[in-house]
Structure 1
Amino acid sequence: MAAQAVQTSAASVPRPEYPRPDWQRRDWLNLNGAWSFRLESENESGSAEFDAEIVVPFSWASPLSGIGRDERGIGWYKREVSWTPEAAGSLVFLRFGAVDYRCDVWVNGTHAGSHSGGYGEFEFDVTAAWQTDAPNTIMVRAEDYDRKSQTRGKQGYGEIRGIWQPVWLEARPQAYVQQAKFVTKIDGTVQANLIIAASKAGEASLQFNFGDGAVCHAENVSLAPGGNLVGVSFQVEDPQLWSPETPYLYEGEIKLAAGDGGTDAVTTYFGIREVGTALFGDRNYRWVTLNGKPVYLNGTLDQSFHETGFFTYPTDDEMRDEIYLAKRLGLNFVRIHIKPEEPRKLYWADKLGMLIMEDMPCFWGNPDEPTRAAYEREAKEIIDRDFNHPSIFSWIMFNETWGLRTDAETLALTGQAGDQAVATYLPETQEWVRAMYRWAKSVDPTRLVEDNSPCNYDKVESDINTWHFYINGYEQVRAHVTEVVEKTYPGSAFNYAGGNVQSDAPLLNSECGNVWGFVSGAGDSDLAWHYRYMMNEFRRHDKMCGFVFTELRDVTNEFNGYYRLDGGEKFFGYEGFVPGMTLADLHAPDFIVIDAPPCQTAQAGTRLSVPLLKSSYSDRYHGQKLLLGWELWHDNLGTRVTGDRGVIELDWNGFGVKAIHAPIAFDLPKQDALAVLALTLRAADGTVVTRNFVTFDVRGGGETPVYDADGRFVAVPVTGFAEQTFAYQWNAIQEGKTNGGRAGAFVYDVRLPDAGELPLLRHADLYFEASAKRLLARNIEGAREKAHGIDFMHGADAAVEYNANTYYMTDDERHESRIRVLVDGEEVASFLLPDNPADSQGALSYQYQEVHNKLDEAGSYGYLCKVVLPSSIVAKLDRSRAFKLTVEADEGGLALYGRNAGRYPIDILVNVN
């Protein structure tokens, strides 16, 4: 294809908004949209012609690019553009949000410049080559060979190849504000450190107008040719502080008037806030503070991955929604994982109120000198670009020692180890990490800096003491978190490497979840049960000031998200225990900790007590009395029964964790039941502060189950069928549950009390718990174990349906089944089973898991089915005292839950009287 102008209508331009709302000029042209393209992959040189069309700004590997080829190599881009700046004599800049990895640019055949690095923003002054009286040809060469020295991050879900952030043209006068960094204090002091570029010497006027008149400040400055460093201070009266709860931004404009150098106007903003750490009371450990007060950090890992755009969001709305999705869960921060975030998404974090912990992208090779230099250059670009976002409270320089271990081959070549040596985190590399931490502190003293977010207990020097864990099982999580807390104190060598020791830095978990920690990984399974007790364990410790849960959304091979990859809902089921309870209750700054296992097995009628703690990291209710309402309730064959209840008045004072003066004591029901202790903390005006719950598997103790109903019960184990006709059938949860795949039936021989025990049979009811059964590949072909190595960090296929732990969590996707119930071949009822759910409501399916790091259909549960047998059938049963019970399913399959599975502590029950 010969060079030609690629026409793109305004309506079809993807991402049409200005890419930098934190630093915006009025005279600009969006270059997103269709460009001519050709790809020279590493395996073939390809045609010299531009034989394809690509949609910028999407990676050539992504579907939205229109190319969709995940191949390393060189991408060539071409576009013809006609554009004239509004003001005569303006400079013309060609700007790129990010290009992976090495980029060269030509305008009308003139080489405009080069850039290396996959994440930093860059620009070229193309004024000399730009034509205002003819079309301009822009040519871009983007080279991406995934070299080990590149800052790649965690791209394996979808590669960011070539141009992957917006491209635009921008006009500026001969003297312009190149950069401004705002440093704010909560007393309203603002220091603006500017770089002003000028083509010649002269005087200029600098004006700051922000916050609808709250800031009106002007200064005269003397400019020299080139870059000028200018510092300006001003005071904001009655400052409105930025926080996740009150994300106030001082939006406005910086204007530079430089006579014949022109007038430059930049729309920008700042937020007044201070981030720090502090000691409180007589503690010898710090908490993270925002605006001088403790803040409990409820966070999640954000991979920023989109299924069609990969790491480029298709629209601005989707970036906004990403922040909204986290915020609606009660989260107040996200950790952007192994990459910096796009400026527009950071803008929405600023605007909506979400704290950000931003990672530097890692490399995957040896930490040699060329690799270090590339990393250092890119880290500077990232911090310079994102400095003004009030949402960012922390920089993480490295993650899990990725790229910091020198491989065995290099060690052997340098004589430091033998051929069999493993990759090693060398002392000199540790010192470089320390230097990077200190460098970041020097260029940005306004934020917390972390050296390495570790899973190998190998920190060096840090403002935050963090660690990662992926452990499952209540006892295991409790023991691990307690151990970490007990080993965290000033001078402790725990979690540090190379003879370094802990300071009094705040303790924070920076990765946790149940995506790992299982044999062959967690697959795609429920996380609601684990999540609630993990939150309780974190809030139990005064020393811990937050966590990062893995992750906000599922990704291609990790299914531990609060949401599905497409943003679809997952249902945690907490409202089934406490009306109105959501995930946000577990993230409340004022929280009631239940210091007990998530479920305990106990004898019916037993008197129990549960210790409680109050955890406060907000002063909103300090000095007030809060009311803790509690009740013990259980389900009796479909009827909600409330037992003991009460209200405790609490003096809510002081930050941190304290024991509530006396445990709650109550009597368990005198029957088989799943009993729930439900808690609701309210303010004096009735506002709900937080909710929580704990459960009890209450057992009657006799051979026959005990329920509060007239008559006698006959219990038939769900696995005690006489025959079955399903294509696929298996039992689960220690024989507490039976499954039938596709259409088929379970048939049971049921014997009723004889006439000597029950002379006249007047009435008979059937009860059972059932769900549909979604067949997985492992149910048909058998489970397959897959080792989870570093390839998972690069997007390896999880083969999730073959994973032994997979059992899909309740979400928007339904799998239904229609069942018929027959007694001696006569249909007595039919039910539509709407789904095959698994979430925290399947409490008994969790309580009877055999091994903590293997899941056997954990969290699965069904729907209570009740059948009142017609009198004509009861009359027959009065004579026979036995019958065949058939439960028949269509293609949706059938799962039946027994006494030790699901959410109802029942087998198949026949109630007769």
Structure 2
Amino acid sequence: MSESITIKAATSIPRPEYPRPDWQRSEWENLNGDWSFQFDSEDRGRSENWSQPAASFSSTIIVPFSWSSPLSGIGMDEKGIAWYSRKSSWKPANSKDRVILRFGAVDYDSEVWVNGTAIGTHSGGYGNFEFDVTQVWNRSAENTITVRTEDLDLGHQGRGKQGYGETRGIWQPVWLEARPQNYVSDARFITKLDGTIQVTANITAGAAGQAKLAFSFANNSVAHQEDLELTEGHNTIATTFTAADPQHWSPDSPHLYEGEIILSSSAGEDRVQTYFGIREIGTALIDGRNYRWITLNGKPVYLNGTLDQSFHPTGYFTYPADEDMQNEIFLLKRLGLNFVRIHIKPEEPRKLYWADKLGMLVMEDMPCFWGNPDEQARLSYESEAREIFNRDYNHPSIFSWIMFNETWGLKTNSKAASLTGDAGATNHYLPDTQEWVRSMYHWAKKEDPTRIIEDNSPCNYDHVESDINTWHFYLNGYENLRKHVTEVVEKTFVGSTFNYIGGNQQSDAPLMNSECGAVWGVEGSAGDSDLAWHYRYMMNEFRRHDKMCGFVFTEFKDVVNEWNGYYRIDGTDKLFGYEAFVPGMSIADLHSADFIVIDAAPCETVDAGKAVSVALLSSSFSDQYHGQSLTLSWELSYDNLGVRVTADSGCTQLEWNGYGVKAIAPIAAKMPNQDAVAVLGVQLSTADGKVITRNFITYDVRSGDANNKYDAEGIWISVPVASFSTREWPYSWNALQNQKVSGGDSGSFTYDITLPDTDEAAFIGDVDIIFEASAKRLLVKDREHLSQKQHDISYMHGLKTDPEINLNTYYMTDSVRYESNIRILIDGQQIEAALLPDDPADSRGVLSWHYQPVDNKLDEAGSYGYLVKVRVPSAVVAKLNQTRQFKLQLEALDGGLALYGRNAGRYPIDLLIRYQ
């Protein structure tokens, strides 16, 4: 909605904007900022009357930040009891108006006093709540607000993944607002594509009487009015009106109808600024299929999504500023994503507002509890679910509610079994619990028939009843992933018991993935390693299957113990490197609604000069280009020692019609006649040249020659990088099956080189030295001989660990550089110096990925270097004409050195000596 409302709070306080732009009143007081604060580890506060205005607390905390977070000013991750207190002299302009004290969220049990009088309690860590404090509010003097919070991490509490950073105490904004004696408590909007708007409003009336309820949206172009006869207390009003020429909401066109609800009565006017979006979420059988797809506004939509932990390193689950929440949506859209799954928690209202405003579909989870699913846990969960549904119902961005995740909290004695290691402890998803989950699914369907409901987002194949049939997997390796996804698709059909538990069966519900990635697909987790290689072939495998209608990649940003985000934890970029294969390509190309699937491995070893046939599929989940003739162009290119060469190319016209996946004509291409990493890139374009999507695969082309073969004059000698005569380093090791050698942080590799005396080169005119090298960032695992550690459930609770101790870590290329200065010497004489800009790892490290020895352990995967080309000075060459031998020394002055051989890195070369 419009941000034109005057901010009443001082701009120096944190989060000064109104916390609920979806339900906003103009007269209010922001209570964020400094509050007096006191831990109460012995629970003495009640008996010692800390609730009274005269009570004095020893510390100051900055609200709305959890006391465990750095931004709170406390920064202690200590569960227990804490007290808050602050003063306020604010009063409504109208002396007859009510004063309402509102809390965005407080974890977990809250008691509130105003001027020493108890006004109410609340339990639950994620829902908003409020108290009418009119009768105790002093309008002519200073008031004291006191809050006691208790967060003991009990098993019945809805906690989610708070281990990343606990939401202890007050962790969302607190504010006061004025309302007339008669006011609109809330309203639910249900929209239809034809412009029909159904509204159910709840009104609180201080006294019976006549009133008018008016709706004015889109500058009053959508307007309606109802005459009411209110009864004292609670009133529910249902009404319907129409938006002419309705503009539909979608991620591509996030049109919002912004405006006001006005309740007029003898008590005055209650004006609430709000908005709605006209959109319909559903599932449908399309073009005779017997399985459903998810639809948005009546049309199929492919869901390109990611898992969002909504974690900030300084505010934890509270964003420091509104701008941070807005930027989150921009960062998602920049990737070409159209939806996000908020993981095991409801999102802050202002971030949902930006999802509405900027266009991002949201799958919102209910927070799980970690104890047994006993009566107390169930009652707590149900209460919190009601609050979340009530608060977030009107956000057009939310298309799905997930009631549970990975059966967490649903297995009886699960905590005891996992944390104590007691083999005798039970750890079962009991039939009674399954039926409770089913009841929650049906409750949600009744409570909100406008959205897709999922019972449990499963990693254990244990759905009960659901509107979508999702599953989780974490696998590394192309063949493993391809086999797994194909198996899931083949086992998905009406009546199948696969992915369901307790004798329940699949319906025709849409199939999609709701968590995926390689983070847990390797032994001990992937550490901090390259995502780009795995991600590209995973996208191809998903789009290969007509049944699949979306995915959720784990995850949006790195968190404290998982470094598998598209971005670093601070939102800085990771570099995927796709543009090096197809000019202009980015990760967004893999998220196009219209897509070209290359049905082949990410890299294949082939003989030089071989003709290959590559299978292609079209995948369309948009009608934007239906009925058009699109151009599919392709190019087979390779790098010949720093020079880009086109080996083959072609194009064809495609009549782009109909949704889903279809086979199209394969590409026939001929490989180059030399050793090369060849790239087959494809591009789909419109008639006017607009690029719709790009994609690629690679080949390791092998000539079979002992010294390899390259298109350049002269005689070549290939020297394996591991064949050094000496190495002098504090730390040094070989990797990638001796195809890579590394040393750090200063030292050298020395090679004994002999130039054969042949008739062809009886006289040597020029000598060139060519090699692939990078800096070598020394990690803890490199300095110390570490063994891989196995992880337990504590990882799911946010166990903080150093990625440098993980054996799989090889930092993915990002905006931070690790440089190294090197020297090249012949017989002790420096002939050149070079700067190696970084120690990178991403999709450009084709050979380091292709020749990984096993899939579930990473051996410096994706690492690669820079092509270094050195011309030996003439004076040195003159001596070589006599000796034909020399010592080549590659020395790092600082920053270390890694050398890449024929089967490692980016270039298919060993250390090359060319002479002529």
Q: TM-score range by the shorter chain?
A: over 0.9
1:323-374: CA deviation from partner (whole Å, max 9, x where unpaired):
1100110000000000000000000000000000000000000101111000
The equivalent residue for 2:130 is 123
How much does 1:797 deviate? Answer: 2.5
The equivalent residue for 1:20 is 20
The equivalent residue for 2:5 is none
Bigger Cα displacement from structure 2, 862-871 vs 263-272: 862-871
Query: In structure 1, what residue type is equivalent to 2:182?
Result: A
The one of 523, 526, 530 equivalent to 1:526 is 530
1:158-189: CA deviation from partner (whole Å, max 9, x where unpaired):
00000000000010001000010000000000
Confirm or deny that 1:765 pairs with 2:772.
no
CA distance in 2, matches of 1:797, 1:707: 48
Q: Retained in 2: the 8 A contact 1:42–1:71?
A: no
CA distance in 2, matches of 1:410, 1:526: 36
How much does 1:95 deviate? Answer: 0.1
The one of 493, 499, 514 equivalent to 2:503 is 499
The equivalent residue for 1:3 is none
Map 1:376-387 → 2, pairs under 5 A: 376-387=382-393
Map 1:549-564 → 2, pairs under 5 A: 549-564=553-568
The equivalent residue for 2:320 is 314
How much does 1:828 deviate? Answer: 1.2
The equivalent residue for 2:186 is 179
How much does 1:789 deviate? Answer: 1.2
Query: In structure 1, what residue type is equivalent to 2:335?
Result: L
The equivalent residue for 1:327 is 333
How much does 1:576 deviate? Answer: 0.5
Confirm or deny that 1:346 pairs with 2:349.
no
Query: In structure 2, what residue type is equivalent to 1:626?
Result: L
The equivalent residue for 2:872 is 869
CA distance in 1, matches of 2:502, 2:600: 38
The equivalent residue for 1:737 is 740
1:755-806: CA deviation from partner (whole Å, max 9, x where unpaired):
4452111111110000000000000102332222110011112332111100
1:414-436: CA deviation from partner (whole Å, max 9, x where unpaired):
xxxx9825311000000000000
Unaligned stretches of 5+ residues in structure 1: 1-7, 412-417
Q: Retained in 2: the 8 A contact 1:770–1:863?
A: yes
Query: In structure 1, what residue type is equivalent to 2:863?
Result: S
The equivalent residue for 2:551 is 547
The equivalent residue for 1:390 is 396
| TM-score when normalising by structure 1 | 0.97
Partner of 2:699: helix, strand, or coil? strand
Confirm or deny that 1:610 pairs with 2:614.
yes
Structure 1 residue ranges (4+ consecutive) displaced by more than 4 angstroms after TM superposition: 42-49, 408-411
Query: In structure 2, what residue type is equivalent to 1:304?
Result: S
1:601-626: CA deviation from partner (whole Å, max 9, x where unpaired):
01000000100000000000000011
Partner of 1:11: helix, strand, or coil? coil
1:677-715: CA deviation from partner (whole Å, max 9, x where unpaired):
011110111111000000000001121210000111001
CA distance in 2, matches of 1:43, 1:836: 54
The equivalent residue for 2:94 is 87
Query: In structure 2, what residue type is equivalent to 1:441?
Result: K
Partner of 1:398: helix, strand, or coil? coil
Query: In structure 2, what residue type is equivalent to 1:779?
Result: D
Q: Retained in 2: the 8 A contact 1:523–1:798?
A: no
The equivalent residue for 1:4 is none
CA distance in 1, matches of 2:823, 2:735: 23
Q: Retained in 2: the 8 A contact 1:41–1:72?
A: no
Map 1:742-753 → 2, pairs under 5 A: 742-753=745-756
How much does 1:865 deviate? Answer: 0.3
CA distance in 2, matches of 1:791, 1:526: 24
CA distance in 2, matches of 1:560, 1:622: 36
The equivalent residue for 1:52 is 59
In structure 2, relative to structure 1, the CA distance for the partners of 1:877 and 1:409 (3 Å cut) is closer
Partner of 2:722: helix, strand, or coil? coil
CA distance in 1, matches of 2:94, 2:201: 24
Query: In structure 2, what residue type is equivalent to 1:19?
Result: P
Q: Retained in 1: the 8 A contact 2:773–2:864?
A: yes
Query: In structure 1, what residue type is equivalent to 2:36?
Result: S
The equivalent residue for 1:367 is 373
Partner of 2:677: helix, strand, or coil? strand
The one of 404, 408, 418 equivalent to 1:402 is 408
1:569-624: CA deviation from partner (whole Å, max 9, x where unpaired):
00000000001100000000000000000000010000001000000000000000
How much does 1:643 deviate? Answer: 1.2
1:508-566: CA deviation from partner (whole Å, max 9, x where unpaired):
10000111111111111111000000000000000000000000000000000000000
Bigger Cα displacement from structure 2, 649-658 vs 418-427: 418-427
Q: CA RMSD in A?
A: 1.5
Map 1:479-878 → 2, pairs under 5 A: 479-660=483-664, 662-756=665-759, 758-878=761-881
The equivalent residue for 2:277 is 271
Q: Retained in 1: the 8 A contact 2:160–2:369?
A: yes
Q: Retained in 2: the 8 A contact 1:42–1:73?
A: no
Partner of 1:794: helix, strand, or coil? coil
How many residues end up aligned between the 2 structures?
A: 898
Unaligned stretches of 5+ residues in structure 2: 1-7
Query: In structure 2, what residue type is equivalent to 1:861?
Result: Y
1:222-260: CA deviation from partner (whole Å, max 9, x where unpaired):
11011101011001110000000000000000000012x
1:129-180: CA deviation from partner (whole Å, max 9, x where unpaired):
0001000000000100000110011100100000000000010001000010
The equivalent residue for 1:296 is 302
| TM-score when normalising by structure 2 | 0.97
Query: In structure 1, what residue type is equivalent to 2:486?
Result: T
The equivalent residue for 2:479 is 475
CA distance in 2, matches of 1:49, 1:88: 31
The one of 151, 160, 181 equivalent to 1:144 is 151
The equivalent residue for 1:415 is none
In structure 2, relative to structure 1, the CA distance for the partners of 1:204 and 1:409 (3 Å cut) is closer
Query: In structure 2, what residue type is equivalent to 1:125?
Result: D
Partner of 2:853: helix, strand, or coil? coil
How much does 1:217 deviate? Answer: 1.1
Query: In structure 2, what residue type is equivalent to 1:221?
Result: L
Q: Retained in 2: the 8 A contact 1:409–1:419?
A: no
Partner of 1:440: helix, strand, or coil? helix
CA distance in 1, matches of 2:530, 2:343: 23
Q: Retained in 1: the 8 A contact 2:416–2:425?
A: no
CA distance in 1, matches of 2:188, 2:662: 41
The equivalent residue for 1:414 is none
CA distance in 2, matches of 1:672, 1:561: 35
Map 1:426-505 → 2, pairs under 5 A: 426-505=430-509
CA distance in 1, matches of 2:563, 2:450: 35
Partner of 2:796: helix, strand, or coil? helix
Query: In structure 2, what residue type is equivalent to 1:671?
Result: Q
CA distance in 2, matches of 1:409, 1:354: 35
CA distance in 2, matches of 1:62, 1:12: 20
The equivalent residue for 2:427 is 423
Partner of 1:879: helix, strand, or coil? helix
CA distance in 1, matches of 2:814, 2:786: 23
The equivalent residue for 2:11 is 11
Q: Retained in 1: the 8 A contact 2:412–2:429?
A: yes
Partner of 2:753: helix, strand, or coil? strand
